[in-house]
Amino acid sequence: MRIALVNPPFKNEYGRFSRASRSPAITKSGTLYYPIWLAYACGYLEKHGHEVLLVDSCAERLDLETTASRVEAFRPQLAVVDTSTPSIAEDVRSAMRIKQTASAPLICMVGTHPSALPGEVMAMDERIDFIARKEYDDTLLELVQCLEAGKSVDQVLGLCYRRGSEMMANPERPYIEDLDKIPFVTEVYKKHLRVEDYFFAAGEYPMAMIMTGRGCPSRCFFCVYPQTFHGHKYRLRSARNVADEFSYIARELSLVKSVGIEDDTFTADTVRVKEICELLIKRSLHKKLHWWANTRVNLDYETMALMKKAGCRLVIPGFEAGDQSMLNSMKKGTKVDHQMRFAQQANQAGLLIHGCFMAGNRGETRESMENTLKFAMKASPDTAQFFPMIPYPGTEAFKWATENNYLETTDYSKWLTEDGLHQCVINLPGLPAKELVSFCNDARKRYYLRPRYLWKKLVQTVLHAEERKRTWISLRQFKKFLFTRAAHSNQ
């Protein structure tokens, strides 16, 4: 079967929209994620003999008509359209435009938002045929097999479909356990995308993003992917399979300088982390590729040192707060002193840190926000982001915000600014949305414009050519937000 997988356009006149990120938006730093879940599904469908077109309109800055024309030339029987919460109305509109092309493909919506609210999304347009909930690799494959054979789809696990005017929801699909059976996502990048189109502000350019495991054992109450998409059990690719993909990247994607491991918590299994590192060293891949990974702050120094030796350049811990009451409130499962020890040991190991901080969780106060900023300055990661917590549908945070009437609006199109930047949508008692945004804007300026930080970055860019390149790319995009006050946006 011919299948089109589409990451549709969204506000492409302003910038490039990262639909696959944990907090979808056009970022102030210029970061653009790969359409990683679509790409994995693409490789899986191709492996099983199907002809697939993957279109990333956000990366190529294609408007809707150009996107529809490209799909029309392919003449698919099924079009799978990616979504996100703030773009959902535009995503449905894009899907319906694609449905109007010559082959009139069936439409399947995917992503965290329809996974959390399938009935609401299906009700947005009666011409939506299917929703593939959560991880959809096998769901799409079985759907295609049923369509080819002319069979009913009522046994396809994880699928929503229409029966007359009624939406039917099949039982949930068990998560994939054998992740080694899924082709390398970087093979899909090589065939369908251009690595030069993607950028991560804290990583060396050009970069590639991969997943070495799916799911997250942590229970942070705000985090969208574990709660709506891939669950809380961390399922792993084998260490050899991961090392084989690094070998493929070094051999076939010569432009790539760094690899981002986008697992929610790559270091949850340190035994496997060490196995991967040893293989990268044994194959001399640490001399060809740098990499970064999302980590927990309980990571030990021995593992950090081995990661550095194996080519790891950057770690990304979700610090989130520098106030213990806030860490407890968001179910982070960490301690402030553990976070500081992590920062110190990562520096000792020679690893850069990209620190993530947020404001607006349960119980937030002006004092707790100031404690977070003080912690950030003391920990002094190489880069830091400050943004208001966004309570996405399907998360505990969304339930908390709606039950307490903290949400400004459930019109998701207003969850971003007019130019696609992050928008604060919660008003807490004594802390309105505008004040949360103001704190994040001021925190960013106070953090980045410190003489100590500016001197550190100057030395770094002078001594390291690759750091100079990625810093300059990011600064060109970021400077207009760093030196001016945005009225109601962040990150």
Provide DSSP, 251-279.
Answer: HH-TT--EEEE--TTGGGSHHHHHHHHHH
At 455 the pLDDT is 75
Say if residue 305 is in the same domain as residue 246.
Answer: yes
Q: What is the pLDDT of residues 156-215, one digit of tens each?
A: 999 999 999 899 999 999 999 999 999 999 999 999 999 999 999 888 999 999 999 999
Q: What is the DSSP letter of 121?
A: H
Q: What is the pLDDT of residues 347-361, one digit of tens each?
A: 999 999 999 999 999
Please, what is the average pLDDT of the chain? 93
Are the C-beta atoms of residues 173 and 134 closer than 8 Å to each other? yes
From 151, 169, 187, the end of a domain falls on: 169
Helix/strand/coil for 137: helix
* Domain limits for position 150: 2-133+136-169
Say if residue 112 is in the same domain as residue 184.
Answer: no
Is 157 contained in some domain?
yes
Instruction: Give the full edge-to-edge strand order of the sheet including 78-82.
Output: 51-56, 2-7, 78-82, 106-110, 130-132, 159-163, 166-169
Are the C-beta atoms of residues 159 and 165 closer than 8 Å to each other? no
**Region at 231 (left for phi over 0; alpha for psi -120 to 50; beta for the rest):** left
From 119, 146, 169, the end of a domain falls on: 169
Q: Quote the CA–CA distance of 83 and 85 in Å, as a whole number.
A: 7
Q: What is the phi/psi pair of residue 132, to 5°? A: -100, 110
Confidence of residue 481 (pLDDT cuts 50, 70, 90): low
Q: What is the pLDDT of residues 218-247, one digit of tens each?
A: 999 999 999 999 999 999 999 999 999 999
How many beta carbons lie within 10 A of that of residue 383, not counting itself?
Answer: 20
Q: Which residues contact 464 (CB under 8 A, 6 or more apart)?
A: none
Pairing of strands 78-82, 51-56: unpaired
Asked if pLDDT for residue 381 goes beyond 60, the answer is yes
Q: Which residues contact 271 (CB under 8 A, 6 or more apart)?
A: none
Is 411 contained in some domain?
no
Q: Quote the CA–CA distance of 15 and 344 in Å, as a whole number.
A: 36
Is 400 contained in some domain?
no
At 460 the pLDDT is 66
Q: b vs e for 117-149, b when ≥16 Cβ sit within 10 Å of the residue's Cβ?
A: bbeebbebeeebbbbbbbbbbbbbbbbbebbee
At 477 the pLDDT is 54
Is 298 contained in some domain?
yes
Say if residue 305 is in the same domain as residue 444.
Answer: yes
Is 415 contained in some domain?
no
At 485 the pLDDT is 46
Confidence of residue 97 (pLDDT cuts 50, 70, 90): very high
Q: What's the mean pLDDT in 464-470?
A: 60
Q: What is the pLDDT of residues 12-40, one digit of tens each?
A: 776 689 999 999 999 888 899 999 999 99
CATH of the domain at 111: 3.40.50.2300
C-alpha distances in Å from residue 311, one per residue of 266, 290, 335: 15, 5, 28
At 11 the pLDDT is 86
Q: What is the phi/psi pair of residue 258, to 5°? A: -145, 155
Q: What is the pLDDT of residues 391-400, one digit of tens each?
A: 999 999 999 9
Say if residue 161 is in the same domain as residue 275.
Answer: no
Q: Quote the CA–CA distance of 441 and 483 in Å, as a whole number.
A: 10
Amino acid occupying residue 10: F
Of 15, 383, 16, the C-alpha closest to 7 is 16
Confidence of residue 155 (pLDDT cuts 50, 70, 90): very high
Say if residue 64 is in the same domain as residue 126.
Answer: yes
Say if residue 385 is in the same domain as residue 454.
Answer: yes
Number of domains present in the structure of the chain: 2
Quick one: what percent of the chain has pLDDT higher than 70?
93
Say if residue 26 is in the same domain as residue 159.
Answer: yes
Is 419 contained in some domain?
no
Say if residue 71 is in the same domain as residue 144.
Answer: yes
Q: How far separated are the first and last CA of the chain, in Å rounded?
A: 41
CATH of the domain at 281: 3.80.30.20
Say if residue 215 is in the same domain as residue 330.
Answer: yes
At 376 the pLDDT is 97
Is 427 contained in some domain?
no
What the block records as the tokens of 242 is 């991961």
From 145, 169, 193, the end of a domain falls on: 169
Of 107, 147, 102, 153, the C-alpha closest to 127 is 107
Quick one: what percent of the chain has pLDDT higher than 90?
87
Helix/strand/coil for 82: strand
Pairing of strands 290-295, 312-317: parallel
Provide DSSP, 403-452.
Answer: HTT-BS-S-GGGSB-TTS-B---B-BTTB-HHHHHHHHHHHHHHHHT-HH
Say if residue 148 is in the same domain as residue 271.
Answer: no
Say if residue 185 is in the same domain as residue 293.
Answer: yes
Say if residue 198 is in the same domain as residue 164.
Answer: no
At 252 the pLDDT is 98
Is 253 contained in some domain?
yes
